[in-house]
Amino acid sequence: MNVIISPKQSFPNDPAYTVGFFYGKINKKAMEQFCRSAFCEKCWDADRPKKGNFYVLYQGTQQQFVYGKIDYLSRRNSPRGFSPHLFRLLRAQNDEVEYTKVCLIHLCGIAIIPGEDDTFTVDLLREELGLMSVKDWNALVLRFHGWTGYEL
């Protein structure tokens, strides 16, 4: 990935779980790459997320990466093993979508490397390849708003 990001933008309190909001219409780019909370087995094993963990988020509307540190964590709203992930569409064929998923917690799916001028580089450590139906992909993109069959 090797993306250089700036820490000038940050999110308050529990940022890892306030990501991926799309305002207005969903454009094509927003459907191809976005950030969502998802389960990560490696984070589960390491009891993450936890206070003090660094993370990266992708802001789809601004098409930029930002990083931060978890200063507050509520286990009620931030269950163990659920962390921010970057989803990227590789291709859609027939009724299936092939995609990649990357955990955005430092030293899990990515490494945040300090640079000069208060910037950081993000290196990809591991990436998962996945397959899902187009219906499920669209529900994930739209955050399940108005979709039936996805209620908890």
For residue 15, the model assigns a pLDDT of: 34
The tens digit of pLDDT for each residue in 93-141 reads 888 999 999 999 999 999 988 877 777 888 899 999 999 998 888 888 8
Does 11 reside within a domain?
yes
User: Which of 43-47, 60-64, 122-126, 134-138 has maximum average pLDDT?
Assistant: 43-47
Lowest mean pLDDT among 7-11, 45-49, 67-71: 7-11
Does 34 reside within a domain?
yes
Does 151 reside within a domain?
no
Judge if pTM exceeds 0.85: no
For residue 103, the model assigns a pLDDT of: 96
Does 10 reside within a domain?
yes
Q: How confident is the model at residue 75 (pLDDT cuts 50, 70, 90)?
A: low
Q: Residue 111: which domain range?
A: 3-141
Does 56 reside within a domain?
yes
Does 46 reside within a domain?
yes
Does 149 reside within a domain?
no
Residue 136: count of CB within 10 angstroms of its CB = 16
Contact 37, 83 (CB under 8 A): yes
Phi-psi region of 63 (alpha: psi -120 to 50; beta: other; left: phi over 0): left
Does 47 reside within a domain?
yes
Is the pLDDT at 147 greater than 70? The verdict is: no
Q: State the total domains in the chain.
A: 1
